[in-house]
Structure formats: structure tokens, C-alpha cells
Amino acid sequence: MIRDNNPDVLSEINEKLNSILLRLDQLDGQVVGLDERFHEVLARWTHYREDLTGDHDEMHRGIAEELNSFVSQKLLRLAYMRSRATLSGLTRRQTAQLMSSLCVAYLGPAETDLIRVRRMLKARKGDECWQAAGQAALQAKKILAAARVRGAEFSWDYACDEGFPLDEEIQQVWSNCDPASDVSFVVVPGYVADGERYLLQQVFTETAEAGAEA
């Protein structure tokens, strides 16, 4: 935790953070462009390869990895931007709860409700967070649309037994939560298709909640 309230030090830190975020935006734009080309080519290739219709494992692994990358990069960045905009920052639990809400908003079957998301992030029209939320919605839409073109059918698993120990067959702890502590709630849902689990749930645990203010 930063305890030095010197305006010059805080200004220097903010400048460095803004520089890093700007570079991330530039890299994100390049990656999104490559993703679009990849999805277009792969969708056409899968459509004309009849011998691939019975083999879904590789397809689902690829989609699950891409969505996991989206969550761990785009959505986590939005959560950190929201935390940075508060005077004292979000606690670990608050960040996890925000991530959970963002997953529901961006990964659902319906198109992302950007008005609701931007209110959640307390973004101001035209600011960095406002724009980043819109870019994330476009990327999520492209990933999920490409999955539908490829015939992928899957579901998100949010179900968990709160207050019980971690079930390592379907769960892993989120961030640096304690795996020995009881589950509090699901942060990132599991990805399930054809009875197989391609992504484990990421869950928040009670010890992390207790130590969030530390």
C-alpha cells in the first residue's frame, strides 16, 4: 500500500500508470485486429471441413482459452481502472465482486448492457474507462459470435456451495485467495460443453475476505 501522500510522487505514479494503460490500449488494438482475421479464417475453414463436425474438444479448448484471456486481461483491467478512480481503492473483496458482475454482464447470451456496465464502473461519458468498456463489449461480441458460427454450444457454470471447502474438480481460487479456506462466491464462471469442463470456476474464499483491508 502506498502511504506517501507527496503530490509529486502521486503525480509521477499516475503518469506512469497512464503511460502503461496507453500502451496496453495500443497492443489491444493490434491483438483485436489479428483475432478478427483468425476468427474469419477459422470459421470458414470449419464450415467446409465436414470431418471436423464430430470433434469438439479442440474447438472448445480454444474458445475457453480465448474467453479466459478476455476475462483476465480486459475485465480485470476495467476493475483496476474502477479501483484507481476511488480515493482509497477497492478492497480485494470489492474487486472480486466487481469482476463477478462484469463476467455476468459481458459473457451472457444477450448483448452487453453498456449503460449498466458503465454505471457499475462509474465511468464518465468519453473518459478512458467509458471507452475501454465499449471496446471490451465489442471484443466479447466478436468472440461469442465466432463461437456460434463454429457451432459451439456451451454454458457458464455459476453454481457453487457457499461456505464449503474448495471443490478442486470444478474450482480454483481467484487471484491469491487461500485454497484452504471456504468458498464465498464465484468470481469467474466455469466453461462447460458436452458434459466436459474446459475452464474451472474461479472463486473467492473467506480468508481473502478477512484480509482484504490488510
- Where b means 16+ CB within 10 Å and e means fewer, 10-49 reads eeeeeeeeeeebeeeeeebeeeeeebeeebeeebeebeee
- What pTM value is reported for the model? 0.72
100: Cβ–Cβ under 8 A, 6 or more apart, which residues? 185, 186, 187, 188, 204
| Residues linked to residue 196 through DSSP beta bridges, in sequence order | 193
Cα separation, 110 vs 210, whole angstroms: 35
* Residue 145 main-chain phi, psi, to 5 deg: -65, -40
Provide the residue ranges of all domains of the chain, joining segments of one domain with +. Answer: 7-152
Q: How far apart are CA 181 and CA 185, in angstroms?
A: 12
* DSSP 3-state of 156: strand
Q: Please state, in angstroms and rounded to a whole number, the distance separating the CA atoms of residues 186 and 160.
A: 7
Nearest to 181 by CA among 210, 159, 206, 202: 206
Per-residue pLDDT of the chain (214 residues; tens, 9 = 90+): 445 566 666 667 777 776 776 676 666 555 545 554 544 444 443 333 343 344 678 899 999 999 999 999 999 999 999 999 998 899 999 999 999 999 999 998 888 999 999 999 999 999 999 999 999 999 999 999 989 888 888 999 999 999 999 999 999 999 999 999 999 999 999 999 988 999 999 999 987 555 444 3
Task: State residue 65 phi and psi, 5-degree precision.
Answer: -65, -40
Q: Residues 6 or more apart from 36 whose CB is under 8 A from it?
A: 142
